Amino acid sequence: MTSLLIITSVEKLQSRINSIIKSFINIPGIYVSLNKTQKSTENILQEAGIDTKKLFFIDCVTSERTRDDVVHIAPTELDLLSSAINDFIKDIKGEEFLIIDALSTLLIYNHENEVAKFVKKVTEFASQHDTQVAAFSPATKGEELLNDDIFNFFDKVEK
Amino acid sequence: MEKTKNFQKILLPLTVILIVLLAGILFPQLTSFVIKPFESFNLEVEIPKTYEEVLAGENMWFTTKLLNLGSEKRKDVTLKYEVFDADRKLKSSKSETVAVETQASFVGDIGIPKNSEEGPHFLKVTLISPFGEYEAETSFNVIKEETKNQVIIKFSLFDIQIAIPNDYKIIYPGDELLASIKLVNLGSAGRIDVFLEYWIIDSEQKAILRNKETVAVETQANFVRTFDIPKDVKPGKYSLHAKLIYADGKKAEAENSFEVVKKQIDKKIYYGLTGLLGLIILISIIYKSGHLVKKIQLWVKVRRIVKKREIK
C-alpha cells in the first residue's frame, strides 16, 4: 500500500498521525504541515515521543523562517509544493514516507480540481519511488470536504 | 329554422372577410387598391428666393421634395405641375413620372406663358400614385420687366469643382465620404440660388447614392459635404458627380473619383494587438522564469537540507 487517505474526527486526527509516523520505524519522512506551524507540529510530535530528527518539514502555515532546514511554501503554490515534495522524495536515500496534514486545508485556498491534480501528481510520483503516502483530513458532520475525484488517487481511504 | 337564419347572417360576412383576407395574401397588389392607403406621401414644393420672380415667357425653377412614409419600395409616381394666375385660371401645366424610394428631391421647371399677367401666381404640384393624390402649393410673382435678379441670372456663368481629400480617396464600406465643393460664378453680378445634384456611381454606372440641395452663391462658395456610403457596397472604383443647375436651365458638372476597399484590421489596432500580445508573452515569460527560479531555489534548499541531515 503506497497511498492512504485517513479521514477521522478532529479529536482523533493527531493520535492517528502519531501512530502512523510511529509505524515507520527508522524511516525518514516528509511532513507537510498545512494547518499547524512546523514549530507547533514538532512540539506535538515530540510530546508524543516521536523522533522528529528524521522528519523533513514543509511548513505551509507560516512564511517566517526560523530554521534553515524547514521549507516554507504558501498553500496556494501547489506546483511549488508538489515540486518540493518530489525533490525530497528524490533526494532522500532509501525508503521514505510522506505525511500530509491536513489535505482538506488545501481546499480553503485552491479549487477542488487543482487539489485533485496536486494529489494525483504527488501520489503518482510517490508510487514511482515506493514512497508511502499518508494524507489526513478531519471528518465533518454533513458534507464531505474531499470529493470522489480526490479519493480516487489514493490506494486506500479509511474513514 | 330561426337558428339556420342566424347562422347564415354570421356566415355571410365571415365568408366575405375570409375572401378579402385570402385575396390579400394571394394578390397583394390588388388589395393595395382596395384597402388604401398602405402608402402615404409627404409632398413639398419650394421655389428658391432668386426664382420667386419670373419673367413672363421664361421658365420657372423649383424643387419638389417627396417623402414616402409608407414603405421603402421603389415606386413610380406621376408629378403634375400646374401654374395658376391670381384668379386661379390655369396658365400652364406639365407632367412627369418619377421613381421614389424612401425620399426624393427633384428639380423641376415649367414655362410661364408670355401673355401671363404681372402679379402673383401659384404653382401647384400634384403627386398621383395608385394609393391616392397629394398636393402642395406655393406662390411666385410674374414680372414683365427684368429686375436685378434676372440680370444676375442672365449673366451668371458657373463653374463647379469637386475635391476629395487624400484621406477619403480610399474608404471602407459604411464610411463617410467627405468632399469639398467649390462653386465659382464667373459672370457674377450678385447673389443667386443654384440647384445642386450629387450622385455616386460605380464602375458600371450604377448609382449607389443621390442627393440634392439648393445653395445661394455670390461670387464663389466653398463648402464641405459628406456622403454616407452604404455598408453593402462592393469594393471598387466609384465617382462622385455634382451637377449645378441655374439660370433657366444652364448647367455645370464636375466629378471626382475614390475607391472603396474591403475593410481590414486598422493598422493602429493591429500594432496595438501585436504589442499587447507581446506584452502578455513577456509577462508570461517573466512569470514562468520567476516560477522556474523559485523551483530551482527550492530544489537547492531541499538538497541542502537532506545532505545536512545525512552528514549528522
- Yes or no, beta carbons of A71 and B305 under 8 Å apart: yes
B301 at interface of A, judged by CB pairs closer than 8 A: yes
Task: Give contacts of A 98-157 with B, CB under 8 A.
Answer: none
Q: What is the pLDDT of residues A14-61, one digit of tens each?
A: 999 999 999 988 889 999 999 888 889 999 999 989 988 889 999 999
- Yes or no, beta carbons of B299 and A87 under 8 Å apart: yes
Q: Which residues pair with B90 in a beta bridge?
A: B84
Residue range A79-92: average pLDDT? 92
Q: Considering the domain B40-145, what is its CATH architecture?
A: Sandwich (2.60)
Q: What is the pLDDT of residues B153-176, one digit of tens each?
A: 777 778 899 999 998 999 999 899
Q: Are B240 and B255 in contact (CB under 8 A)?
A: yes
pLDDT confidence tier of residue B311, bands split at 50, 70 and 90: low
* Residue % of chain B over a pLDDT of 90: 22
Kindly give, in sequence order, each residue whose CB lies less than 8 Å from that of residue A129, ignoring residues fewer than 6 positions away.
A89, A90
Measured over all CA atoms, what is the biggest interatomic distance in chain A, rounded to whole angstroms? 42
Q: Which of A19-33, A105-119, B5-19, B246-260 has the lowest mean pLDDT?
A: B5-19
pLDDT confidence tier of residue A83, bands split at 50, 70 and 90: very high
Q: Is the peptide bond before B221 cis (omega within 30 degrees of 0)?
A: no
Please tell me the distance in Å from B277's CA to the nearest CA on chain A. Answer: 26
pLDDT of residue B191: 78
Residues of A in contact with B309 (CB under 8 A): 28, 53-54, 56, 69
pLDDT confidence tier of residue B145, bands split at 50, 70 and 90: confident
Please tell me the distance in Å from A51's CA to the nearest CA on chain B. Answer: 13
Average pLDDT over chain A reads 87
- Yes or no, beta carbons of A91 and B308 under 8 Å apart: no
pLDDT of residue B35: 41
pTM of the model: 0.44
Predicted-complex ipTM score: 0.82
Average pLDDT over chain B reads 82
- Yes or no, beta carbons of A87 and B298 under 8 Å apart: yes
Of B295, B306, B312, which has the smallest distance from its Cβ to A80's Cβ?
B295
pLDDT of residue B266: 67
User: In terms of Cα–Cα distance, which of B109, B107, B52 is closest to B81?
Assistant: B109
Type of residue found at B287: Y
pLDDT of residue B257: 93
pLDDT of residue B32: 46
CA distances from A114 to A85, A106, A119, B157, B189 (A): 16, 9, 9, 84, 88
Asked, colleague to colleague, whether B40-145 and B146-263 share their fold, the answer is: yes
A30 at interface of B, judged by CB pairs closer than 8 A: no
B94 at interface of A, judged by CB pairs closer than 8 A: no
Please tell me the distance in Å from B301's CA to the nearest CA on chain A. Answer: 8
DSSP chain B: -HHHHHHHHHHHHHHHHHHHHHHHHH-HHHHHHHS--S--EEEEEE--GGGSEEETTSEEEEEEEEEE-S-SS-EEEEEEEEEE-TT--EEEEEEEEEEESSEEEEEEEEEPPTTPPSEEEEEEEEEEETTEEEEEEEEEEEESS--HHHHHHHH--EEEEEE--GGGTEE-TT-EEEEEEEEEETT--S-EEEEEEEEEEETTS-EEEEEEEEEEESSEEEEEEEEE--TTPPSEEEEEEEEEEETTTEEEEEEEEEEE------HHHHHHHHHHHHHHHHHHHHHHHHHHHHHHHHHHHHHHHHHHHHH-
Count of CB pairs separated by less than 8 Å, A with B: 42
Residue A92 has a CB neighbour count (10 Å cut-off) of 23
Q: Which residue has the higher pLDDT, B5 or B14?
A: B14
Domain residue spans of chain B: 40-145, 146-263
pLDDT of residue A31: 94
pLDDT confidence tier of residue A72, bands split at 50, 70 and 90: very high
Q: What are the phi and psi torsion angles at A115 (to 5°)?
A: -65, -40
Q: Does domain B146-263 have CATH number 3.30.70.20?
A: no
Q: Which residue has the higher pLDDT, B103 or A117?
A: A117
Of A28, A91, A93, which has the smallest distance from its Cβ to B302's Cβ?
A91
- Yes or no, beta carbons of A83 and B295 under 8 Å apart: yes
Task: Give contacts of B 260-299 with A, CB under 8 A.
Answer: 291, 294-295, 298-299
Q: Is the pLDDT of residue B239 over 60?
A: yes
- Yes or no, beta carbons of B309 and A83 under 8 Å apart: no
Q: Which residues pair with A156 in a beta bridge?
A: A4
pLDDT confidence tier of residue A97, bands split at 50, 70 and 90: very high
Taking the CA atoms of chain A, what radius of gyration do you get in angstroms? 14
Q: Are B294 and B206 in contact (CB under 8 A)?
A: no
Nearest CA in chain B to A92: B306
pLDDT confidence tier of residue B132, bands split at 50, 70 and 90: confident
Suggest the residue from A91, A93, A95, A129 to mutate for an interface test with chain B (most B CBs closer than 10 A): A91
- List the helix and strand counts (H, then E) for chain A: 6, 7
Q: Which of A81-85, B42-46, B55-59, B97-101 has the lowest mean pLDDT?
A: B97-101
Q: Is the pLDDT of residue B34 over 50?
A: no
Residue range B195-211: average pLDDT? 90
Q: Is the pLDDT of residue A147 over 80?
A: no
What are the grid coordinates assigned to B90, written together?
Answer: 390655369
- Yes or no, beta carbons of B305 and A83 under 8 Å apart: no
